[in-house]
C-alpha cells in the first residue's frame, strides 16, 4: 500500500530512472540496440524491485503514465546517442497489457515518436505473451503499430498462452525467449525447447532474442542454433546513461 501511494509522487519528483542493457547481434557480434529498463530509488524504501513496482503500477493503473514516461525518456536518450554518431542504435521498451488496452495508447506512441524525433523503426515494443488471450483486439493494435513503423516483439515467449495458429497471423517482428529456458542450457544437456523456439521463429521469419545469457556455453549454443540477438550479464549488465556512453565508446573502438 505504501508503494502504491508513493507511485504518483515518484513520477512527479523524478524518482525513476532508466538503465540500458545492450542487445548484441549474435551473428556479427555488433551492438544492435538496447533494452530500456525502469528503476526506482525511493527516498525512504531505497531500491524498489521491478517485481514489486510493476504489479503495483498495474493495479493502480499508474502504469499508463509511468509507461508513457519510460517510452519518452528512452526514445529521447537513444535519439541523442544517434545524433552523435550511433545511427544504427535502436531501443526496446516493455509495454504492459494495461497500456495496450488504453484507448489513447496508439496516439501516445505517435506523440512520443513526433516529440523525440526518433525514427519509428528504431523503437521496439516488448509485449507480454498474455496479450494473446484477446487475439482480435491484439491483432488490431499490433497492426496499427506496424502501420506506424514501430517494431513489436512477444516477451517471455514459451511461458504463457501462445497458440501457434494465432502466432503465425500476428503482425510481430520478434520472439524473446523467456530466460528460464536459457538458464536450463548447460553442458549436462541442451534444452530441445530452446532449439524448437528458435526454429519456429526463424520459420515465421522473425528475429529471435535470447535474454539472460550468463555462460559461454549458452552463448555458443544459441549462436550454433541460429538465434538472432542476445542479451545478458555475460554480454553486459544493464548500465545507466553515463556508463552506457562509456560502453558505446569502448565497443566502437574494439569493433
In a domain, 129, yes or no: yes
pLDDT along the chain (255 residues), means of 10: 84 93 96 96 87 90 95 98 91 94 96 97 91 76 96 84 73 92 79 89 95 95 96 96 93 73
Total domain count, the chain: 1
Q: Which domain holds residue 88?
A: 2-250
Buried b (16+ CB within 10 A) or exposed e, 61-100: ebbbbbbbbbbbbbbebbbebbeeebeebbbbbbbbbbbb
Question: For residue 31, what are the contacts with CB-CB under 8 A and spacing of at least 6?
Answer: 22, 23, 24, 25, 89, 248, 251, 255
Q: Give the C-alpha separation, 41 to 83, whole Å.
A: 29
CATH of the domain at 82: 3.20.20.450
In a domain, 160, yes or no: yes
Question: Regarding beta strands 123-128 and 90-95, do their DSSP bridges make them parallel or antiparallel, or are they unpaired?
Answer: parallel
Q: What predicted TM-score, i.e. pTM, was given to this entire model? A: 0.93
Amino acid at each position: 500500500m505504501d508503494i502504491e501511494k508513493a507511485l504518483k509522487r515518484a513520477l512527479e519528483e523524478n524518482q525513476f530512472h532508466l538503465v540500458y542493457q545492450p542487445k548484441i547481434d549474435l551473428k556479427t557480434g555488433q551492438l544492435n540496440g538496447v533494452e530500456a529498463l525502469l528503476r526506482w530509488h525511493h527516498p525512504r524504501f531505497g531500491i524498489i524491485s521491478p517485481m514489486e513496482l510493476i504489479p503495483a503500477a498495474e493495479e493502480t493503473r499508474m502504469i499508463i503514465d509511468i509507461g508513457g514516461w519510460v517510452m519518452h525518456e528512452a526514445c529521447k536518450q537513444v535519439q541523442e546517442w544517434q545524433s552523435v554518431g550511433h545511427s544504427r542504435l535502436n531501443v526496446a521498451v516493455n509495454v504492459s497489457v494495461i497500456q495496450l488496452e488504453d484507448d489513447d495508447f496508439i496516439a501516445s506512441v505517435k506523440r512520443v515518436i513526433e516529440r523525440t524525433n526518433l525514427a519509428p523503426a528504431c523503437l521496439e515494443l516488448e509485449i507480454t505473451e498474455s496479450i494473446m488471450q484477446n487475439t482480435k483486439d491484439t491483432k488490431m493494435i499490433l497492426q496499427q503499430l506496424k502501420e506506424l513503423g514501430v517494431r513489436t516483439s512477444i516477451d517471455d515467449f514459451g511461458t504463457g498462452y501462445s497458440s501457434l495458429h494465432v502466432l503465425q497471423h500476428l503482425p510481430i517482428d520478434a520472439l524473446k525467449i523467456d530466460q528460464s529456458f536459457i538458464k536450463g542450457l548447460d553442458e549436462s544437456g541442451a534444452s530441445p525447447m530452446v532449439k524448437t523456439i528458435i526454429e519456429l521463429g526463424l520459420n515465421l521469419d522473425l528475429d529471435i532474442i535470447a535474454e539472460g545469457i550468463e555462460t559461454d556455453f549458452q552463448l555458443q549454443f544459441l549462436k550454433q542454433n541460429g538465434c538472432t540477438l542476445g542479451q545478458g550479464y555475460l554480454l553486459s549488465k544493464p548500465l545507466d546513461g553515463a556508463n552506457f556512453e562509456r560502453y558505446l565508446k569502448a565497443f566502437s573502438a574494439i569493433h
